[in-house]
Amino acid sequence: MSSSQTFFQEILSTLEIANRHLKLPTAVYERLRVPRRSLIVSVPVQMDDGSVNYYTGYRVQYDFARGPAKGGIRYHPKVNHDEITALAALMTWKCGVVDIPFGGAKGGVACDPTIMSKGEIERLTRRFTYELGLIIGPESDIPAPDVYTDEQVMAWMMDTYSMMKGYSVPGVVTGKPICLGGSLGRNKATSSGLVTTVLEALKHLGMRIDGLTVTVLGFGKVGFHAAKILQDLGAKIIGVSDSKGAIYNPQGLDIDAVAAHKAKADTVQGFKDAENLTNEELLTIEVDVLIPAALEGQINLTNVNRIKTKILAEGANNPVTLEADEVLKANGVFLLPGILANAGGVVVSYFEWVQDLQRFFWNENEIDARLTTIMTKAFKEVLDIAQEKKVDMRTAATVLGVKRVADAVITRGLYP
């Protein structure tokens, strides 16, 4: 983010840029500049020592024009209303880009789950779910995992909501364990979708996957699976990082071995077959593909001029600031924006929701094939807009996503 703009204001700036090409009716454009509903709640939690802590929780439902709201839940100390609103807007455009029948939402609690026990996180989750109970549901708003939440948190959310209803409601959340109605392929869906867009970009740019050099910023679920899939396809992962630092080996890293080391050491640093670097040092390594897969604002004016990559694929939501975007564009970097590149997660969440509603489940090959079809189609549609309008891929993706939402708003009309 620029120093003069909040995260949400930056998202509104991308909307304004897209609207220069769309020229939406004023009433529709103004509708898309504000969320439909924001809920801020106090979440009391009894801690293991008997004390009670009060946390602030948020859920923003940005738009419902195309269907129920959809979006993740994050637990992080820096969660705030502006961030959640911005991410809800991005989810709205993202669902439009991949053309699935959802609106966008986001939620979170300002807390530090790394210093909380499992029992404390469970009690936080159940109380937060209770507070959200009036506005979430399989026909209204379907949460999913995000930063520092996982399938166990989704299981607690699903169970709490079901207790409130008096019967099992698996479709209230996605990203659940398989035994509770989760979908096969969901754990690697975001990464699989990202790799599909990278492969399409390689075709477009006349590049090959064999020997392709890749660095991944953020070695969590998205970063690990993206690195693993690309390595299995013949790419060379030469650097990865987490919140504590980075590692680098120009000959390539064994991703499974790095994951095993991280599981023991709680960091990728110290891996025996690599050199320790800082995250900023890893950014300066010349590479074919750079995948930022941690938090937003990772690449900004302080470091963007040192980045040397041909393709930048956003595994995280908005890891590149608007100002840094302009520098990457001037430097000829082919950018795969998050509302396209990391949309695989919400696509397979959609599959999970459909399977839960019909109580009929697909095999993993079906899910992978459907995901690849949707992601390939979305990439080609975004690229077509970029070439037709002579704009960058982020602007093209925003134009596509916003247009689909705007079309739904216009067609439904204003009630009453």
Non-local (6+) Cβ contacts of 241 within 8 A are 215, 216, 217, 218, 219, 247, 268, 277, 279, 282
User: Per the residue annotation, which of 23, 70, 94, 106 is the catalytic one?
Assistant: 106
**What is the DSSP code string of 74-85?**
EEETT--HHHHH
Other Cβ atoms less than 10 A from the Cβ of 397: the count is: 33
- Residues 8 and 356: their CA atoms lie apart, in Å, by 33
- CA distances, 179 to each of 136, 156, 221, 413, 414 (Å): 22, 13, 20, 41, 42
Task: Decide if 106 is catalytic.
Answer: yes
Report yes or no: 74 and 147 within 8 Å, Cβ to Cβ.
yes
Q: Give helix 393-412 / helix 7-22 axis angle, nearest 10°.
A: 80
- CA distances, 370 to each of 255, 344, 357 (Å): 27, 11, 18
> Looking only at Cα atoms, what is the longest distance across the chain?
66
Report yes or no: 291 and 217 within 8 Å, Cβ to Cβ.
yes
Helices (H) and strands (E) in the chain, counts: 14, 12
Identity at 68, one-letter amino acid code: P
Q: How far apart are the first and last CA of the chain?
A: 38
DSSP state of 179: G
Phi-psi category of residue 124: left, alpha or beta, with phi > 0 → left and psi -120 to 50 → alpha: alpha
- Residues 287 and 311: their CA atoms lie apart, in Å, by 9
Q: What φ, ψ does residue 143 adopt, rounded to 5°? A: -70, 170
Q: What φ, ψ does residue 220 adopt, rounded to 5°? A: -90, -150
Helices (H), 238-321: 255-265, 279-283
Instruction: Collapse the DSSP code of 25 into the 3-class scheme (helix H, G, I; strand E, B; otherwise coil) and give the result.
Output: coil
> What is the token pair recorded at 46?
């009894």
Instruction: Collapse the DSSP code of 165 into the 3-class scheme (helix H, G, I; strand E, B; otherwise coil) and give the result.
Output: helix
Beta strand pairing status for 37-46 and 309-313?
unpaired
Which residues form the catalytic set? 106
